[in-house]
Structure 1
Amino acid sequence: MWNRIYQFMKVREDQPELNRAIFTSLGNMIPLMYAMVSVNMIALAWTHWSVAPRWLTLTLPIFFTVITFLRSVKFHKHRNTYFSDEEIRKQLQITVFMSGPISAMFMLWEFSLLNYSTGLMQGQVMFFAGVTAFGTAFCLIHLRQAAIIMMMSTIPPTAIFLALYFNQPVHIAVAINMLVVGALAVFIIRGVNNDFAALIAQQTLHGEQKEKLQRLNHDNLKLANTDALTGLPNRRSFYHALDQYICEATETDSQLVVILLDLDGFKPVNDVFGHPAGDALLQAVSERLQSRLGDSGLLSRLGGDEFGILLTDPGTDDEVLALCRELSETLRQPFRLKEGVANIAGTIGIARYPESGRSRGQLFDRADYALCYSKQHSKGEPIFFSEDHEKAIREYATLEQRLREANLENELYMVFQPIMDTRRDKVMAFEALARWQSPTLGNVSAEAFIRSAEQAGLIANMSGVLLDKALAAAMHWPADVCLSFNLSAVNLSSSASVRDILRRVDRSGFSPSRIIFEITESAVMRDFDRVIEALNLIRSTGARIALDDFGTGFSSLSYVQKLPLDRIKVDRSFVQGIDNNLATRKIVETIAILCRNIGIGCIVEGVETSRQMDLVHRMGLTEIQGYFFSKPLDEEEALKFVQSHNSDDDIAWLSA
């Protein structure tokens, strides 16, 4: 039994949230309870002042009032103080244990006064006993143990005392009434306490669910802003940070630098070693860059093999360039992967706030432009966006606008440069080269308007118009002369684009077997698997495939082996140095040997001098293109050229 009583009085340790709620409630209610008890004591002592001794009417009331006042001050003082769960439990346990003795002392004080009471004064004492008991119990209602102990320590003893001491019907009736109401009050206390506990449990559950939801939101936000592979901030996080830094730089009139870094040679690693090796390489690159940057900049992975860096205290342009060169040098060191050694480099474009732009879009686009410029003109050397670049952007914008407004059918035309078979001194093919005569811009270089068309998404339509014109011109050539036509990456990006090209060929009536479609290494690298699928579809019609500008990009024997190629075109940059650079000569000779060994043709571009012609002949190369034979010719000149060089003899290379 004693164990059950102890368990009843014990404040549970496994309900810290409920205990904290009870403690908070008592912090508000106990001072009110003490105030009520003190007022009742003072009122009762005053009415008994003339009949009871001073220790009952003065000493004890003052003592109890001081104690309750100090307890009230303590509760009020600590109501905003944070206590641990264990400290709260101990405070509640003390309150439970104190409720019995305190209520007993008040009850004995009441009984002592009854010895000096007469008539109405006895009624006042009984009223005080009932009001105090019920009032204190309901002030402690959320701490069930203390409330019930308070009731059990006062109501039954008072009722028994009234019934036995006075033994009068009225006193017995009051006693029975107190017992009945007290019992009902106990049930009410239990019910309210259970409801309070359920409410706190529900609030705790809602709080836990809210906390869990907030934690999930935080995790989701972190995932949404973190690159899963490298653990770096991703593009979204980079943009958000850039926006914040721009606001800070605007308010403080400070500088900000945006750096974009693109890996050179990453795709061959992916293709040769596989995607797991590519992932490992990206992780290693991230670690190297982060190690070098430290806390001086925010490093992010923007996607693929592109990284972004934000410098909020960039220093001078020379200091930024020095940092970027160090980053480039860091990337040039070999990466040792499980699959093998990877050698890559990095191209970097830089934009400074506010000189290069004042918005996120401007800064990012101009850093990207500087990066693209570096790739085309000074690979490996970091470049700041400059006024010259700004001028070029305006020119490109103008060019793009004119291109959109152009009547392509009327303004585009083709010229043709012969590809000679020097074994027989005959034209084996003409390469069709695009030209644009703009009514407002005049003659626009092919490199400029083709790149602009690719960027503007106009290249597919343009390629169709140019192919139609080239096929129409080729219809007048002898049967032994082929048409060599360049395809862009966009033409190979989908089966629909390829089928449009083939429909145009079929509609023209020109035999597909007389067409050589030229593709570049950059087009191959954009989506290797899709390019192979597109080229196989083209070859299924009898058309042939040549890899253009071989050796200028990240050439890979893996590409040559896997691609359905009929020819490789050696880039003119190798031919220009072939007569005075032994290494260049050896490279061209190696390419010639490679082509012979795997059974494909080799066309040499850019031959301009008899010395160059003699050297490539010694290497056994007989398919030549360049100014040594002819500049690009218009349609009529090309027809005259082929008529002067070719006869009606069958030509052997068509069956090669």
Structure 2
Amino acid sequence: MRAKLADLVRILSVPDENPQLTLAQFQAFSKQVPILYFILATNMLSLAWTHQGTAPFALVTVVPGVLVLLFFLRSIIWLKGRQREYTPQQAIKQLRATNLLSFPIAVVCTLWALSVLPYGDAYQKAHVVFFMGITVIGCIFSLMHLRSAALIVTGTVTVPFFIAMCLTGEPTFIATGANVILVTIPMIMILLTHYQNFRQLMESRQTLLQQQNAMREQNLAMQSLSDENLRLANLDTLTLLANRRSFFQMLERAFARAEEQSGALAVGVIDLDGFKPVNDMYGHAAGDKVLVEIGKRLSQLAERDLTIYRLGGDEFALLLEGDASEARANTIGQAICDLIAQRINIGSGLVQVTASVGFALYPDVGQTGQEVYERADYALYTAKRRHRAGTVIFSADQANELSRQAVVEDAMITADLENELYLVYQPISRATDLKCIGYETLARWNSPRIGPVSPAEFIPVAEHNGRITLMTRLLLERALSVASKWPKDVYLSFNLSAHDLSSPDNCLKIVAIVLKSGFDPARINFEVTETAILHDFDQASNSIQMLRELGAGIALDDFGTGFSSLNHVHKLPLTKIKIDGSFVRDIHQRKTSFKIVKSVLALSADMGLDAIAEGVETLEELQVLQTLGVGSVQGYYISKPVSADETIAAFAPPRANTA
């Protein structure tokens, strides 16, 4: 008996055996508390409003007014506290105070709701029942990072609620009370599982951090002993390739020789695709093994006129003199991609990474060695932008792109984005009857200086100069305003960038815009790309989870074009998959595309995800997709993007013919 009592006390208390875990728990919990008070305040005001004139004035005005004021003040305290740096001891103190406060707040709210129950008609009583049920559910989710408080509130509310429902003698209320109890039990089980997973995750992170610190200290010690030798040797200590310093020294010498002898020079920049997930999943030690193996493979290509370097991280470079033709550069690039794509044994298993390669050829481009390198780096950027491994050689088209990019960036610096940006809307239709069920917003920019600018041009620039988050918020507000005029069965699909997911603050501002608009979050579908997710997978995952808790759907855009799509589908709380238009194009003629789309649809069905096929441009493509059973489609065959007014007019009732 004592052991069970001790276990109960332990469960209902704030643990303090791991201060760092408690601090992480507090940081996560502090983000949920204002939402909790918002739920309590809005539910209480709603219930008080419906009982005005029915229940006593003090009961429906004074009491809720005092409580809502208290909730507001507590929310302000928590919001201000998020700007502070807390020690583990301060975090434990705050959590314990909240734990103690949760019981009287739960008691007061429960007693108040039960006091209101006898007043009013059946509808008003039903509202009280709804208030109790939805409040306890909201509290469970909001308190998921403070297990003890969640259990206290749940027990304090649900038990009296069930007893009160039974005492009414009304079968509907009794069933409702039982229903709340039965729903609460699995929710508590989910909460306990979530808490355990959170605890294990934080403990794993602490272990990993300790390992990283140990490795960092070891590297610093080694560096202090051999820094002078490394500087003289110009070697990368991990891969034993020539390092960045050596590369730029040799680049200038090779360029000077090519310029003096009217010869040729090729500069290649290599970047690994899929290296960061290996680091994140298996640790930096495994990542180092991958880099060592890649270094060995690249060394096999070295010749008298071809030298290999490691620039840092997962980036390598090469210098090709003599026969530095485009044909030879392509041959070398293909050989590099083939070598790197072979699986690598890291001890605990096999992993695979791929490579993107960018080349620039002198004398075709560049006035200095540095300029040739920068052009090669831009060619690499172009290769990675295509989301598939391969080789790109800097060309006149890319030179124009680079020049155009500078023009666009200069125009954006002085742009009045609020007046120059606008949205168009591309319908998303049900595949079976092509009925419009939603619209995807597409950003457009009409600059008074340089004219209309393609999203493919200005969005990368906006991401580079940090204005993308401003654009997102501005356009989201407009999109919600337009979407509020659509029928309630039509949803809004809105694209988010990597920067929108890169921090809790950015995501919270998106949540605030949605809440302020009054638009039903369940009618919003946020689209994210694999590129945005890979920018910082952990933070992106947290941001996506926050949006899902808001009630919005999440679609993985351009599915199939990235190297780890299945991994993301498995780990993220997605609701939809958008099949990239490259697989839809000529699907009636391309057997490979047909099989890929069929497999994606089967995967979607198994995981309970909706599938949207984009880029439908012909009747034949649509018919094949209908045969495969795709749920939704969009593309120029169904409709080109339309204006906001056209979306509203599409749902307007037809005018009567008065002729």
User: TM bucket by the smaller chain?
Assistant: 0.5 to 0.7
- Which position in structure 2 is the counterpart of 1:421? 430
Kindly provide the CA deviation profile for residues 345-377 of structure 1, in whole angstroms up to 9, marking residues without a partner as x.
332211234542233542222101112233446
CA distance in 1, matches of 2:633, 2:623: 11
Residue 310 of structure 1 aligns to a residue whose secondary structure is strand
| Among candidates 309, 331, 348, match of residue 340 of structure 2 | 331
Q: Is the 8 A contact 1:257 1:350 kept in 2?
A: yes
CA distance in 2, matches of 1:451, 1:217: 39
State the shift of 1:382 in Å: 3.1
Matched, 1:508 2:504: no
Kindly provide the CA deviation profile for residues 602-648 of structure 1, in whole angstroms up to 9, marking residues without a partner as x.
11212233333332223222222223332111001011224469xxx
| Among candidates 383, 397, 401, match of residue 374 of structure 1 | 383
Paired residues for 1:165-564 under 5 Å:
217-219=227-229, 221=231, 226-246=235-255, 255-267=264-276, 269-270=278-279, 275-376=284-385, 381-422=390-431, 426-564=435-573
State the shift of 1:520 in Å: 0.5
Deviates more, 1:333-342 or 1:579-588: 333-342
State the shift of 1:442 in Å: 2.3
Matched, 1:637 2:646: yes
> Are the structure 2 counterparts of residues 227 and 536 from structure 1 closer, same or farther at C-alpha, using a change threshold of 3 Å?
farther
Q: Is the 8 A contact 2:559 2:565 kept in 1?
A: no
> Are the structure 2 counterparts of residues 296 and 342 from structure 1 closer, same or farther at C-alpha, using a change threshold of 3 Å?
farther
State the shift of 1:473 in Å: 1.4
| Among candidates 578, 588, 602, match of residue 597 of structure 2 | 588
- Which position in structure 1 is the counterpart of 2:637? 628
CA distance in 1, matches of 2:429, 2:572: 25
CA distance in 1, matches of 2:321, 2:344: 30
- Which position in structure 2 is the counterpart of 1:612? 621
- Which position in structure 2 is the counterpart of 1:188? none
% identical equivalent positions: 40
State the shift of 1:388 in Å: 2.9
Residue 444 of structure 2 aligns to a residue whose secondary structure is strand
CA distance in 1, matches of 2:562, 2:509: 28
CA distance in 1, matches of 2:225, 2:502: 42
Return 5+ residue gaps in structure 1 as ranges. Answer: 1-212, 646-656
Normalized against structure 2, the TM-score is what? 0.60
Q: Is the 8 A contact 2:434 2:638 kept in 1?
A: no
Matched, 1:579 2:591: no
Counterpart amino acid of 1:416?
Y
Q: Is the 8 A contact 2:498 2:535 kept in 1?
A: yes
Q: Is the 8 A contact 1:427 1:642 kept in 2?
A: no
CA distance in 2, matches of 1:463, 1:356: 37
CA distance in 1, matches of 2:592, 2:291: 33
Deviates more, 1:258-267 or 1:227-236: 227-236
CA distance in 2, matches of 1:235, 1:510: 52
Residue 550 of structure 2 aligns to a residue whose secondary structure is coil
Kindly provide the CA deviation profile for residues 106-154 of structure 1, in whole angstroms up to 9, marking residues without a partner as x.
xxxxxxxxxxxxxxxxxxxxxxxxxxxxxxxxxxxxxxxxxxxxxxxxx
State the shift of 1:566 in Å: 0.8
CA distance in 1, matches of 2:383, 2:496: 24
- Which position in structure 2 is the counterpart of 1:138? none
Residue 552 of structure 1 aligns to a residue whose secondary structure is coil
Return 5+ residue gaps in structure 2 as ranges. Answer: 1-222, 655-659
CA distance in 1, matches of 2:228, 2:418: 56
Residue 293 of structure 1 aligns to a residue whose secondary structure is coil
Counterpart amino acid of 2:316?
F
Q: Is the 8 A contact 1:268 1:556 kept in 2?
A: no
Q: Is the 8 A contact 1:417 1:433 kept in 2?
A: yes
Residue 257 of structure 1 aligns to a residue whose secondary structure is strand
CA distance in 1, matches of 2:566, 2:308: 34
- Which position in structure 2 is the counterpart of 1:209? none
Kindly provide the CA deviation profile for residues 288-346 of structure 1, in whole angstroms up to 9, marking residues without a partner as x.
11122144333222233221112344544433433333333333444455444444433
CA distance in 2, matches of 1:393, 1:421: 40
Q: Is the 8 A contact 1:492 1:530 kept in 2?
A: yes
State the shift of 1:516 in Å: 0.8
> Are the structure 2 counterparts of residues 580 and 318 from structure 1 closer, same or farther at C-alpha, using a change threshold of 3 Å?
closer
Counterpart amino acid of 2:506?
S
RMSD over aligned CA atoms reads 2.9
- Which position in structure 1 is the counterpart of 2:23? none
Deviates more, 1:322-331 or 1:578-587: 322-331
Deviates more, 1:602-611 or 1:536-545: 602-611
Counterpart amino acid of 1:490?
H
Q: Is the 8 A contact 1:246 1:358 kept in 2?
A: no
CA distance in 2, matches of 1:424, 1:389: 43
Residue 301 of structure 2 aligns to a residue whose secondary structure is helix
CA distance in 2, matches of 1:597, 1:446: 34
> Are the structure 2 counterparts of residues 251 and 423 from structure 1 closer, same or farther at C-alpha, using a change threshold of 3 Å?
closer
CA distance in 2, matches of 1:413, 1:307: 41
CA distance in 2, matches of 1:227, 1:509: 56
Paired residues for 1:76-95 under 5 Å:
none
Deviates more, 1:270-279 or 1:414-423: 270-279
Residue 626 of structure 1 aligns to a residue whose secondary structure is coil
- Which position in structure 2 is the counterpart of 1:107? none
Counterpart amino acid of 1:448?
E
State the shift of 1:250 in Å: 5.6
Q: Is the 8 A contact 1:314 1:320 kept in 2?
A: no
CA distance in 2, matches of 1:214, 1:527: 32
Matched, 1:603 2:612: yes
Q: Is the 8 A contact 1:420 1:427 kept in 2?
A: yes
Residue 516 of structure 1 aligns to a residue whose secondary structure is strand
> Are the structure 2 counterparts of residues 618 and 353 from structure 1 closer, same or farther at C-alpha, using a change threshold of 3 Å?
closer
Larger Rg: 1
Q: Is the 8 A contact 1:261 1:347 kept in 2?
A: yes
Deviates more, 1:366-375 or 1:381-390: 381-390
- Which position in structure 1 is the counterpart of 2:207? none
Normalized against structure 1, the TM-score is what? 0.60
Deviates more, 1:518-527 or 1:503-512: 503-512
Counterpart amino acid of 2:444?
R
Counterpart amino acid of 1:530?
Q
State the shift of 1:581 in Å: 1.9
CA distance in 2, matches of 1:320, 1:618: 45
CA distance in 1, matches of 2:251, 2:261: 15
Counterpart amino acid of 1:622?
G
Counterpart amino acid of 1:498?
C
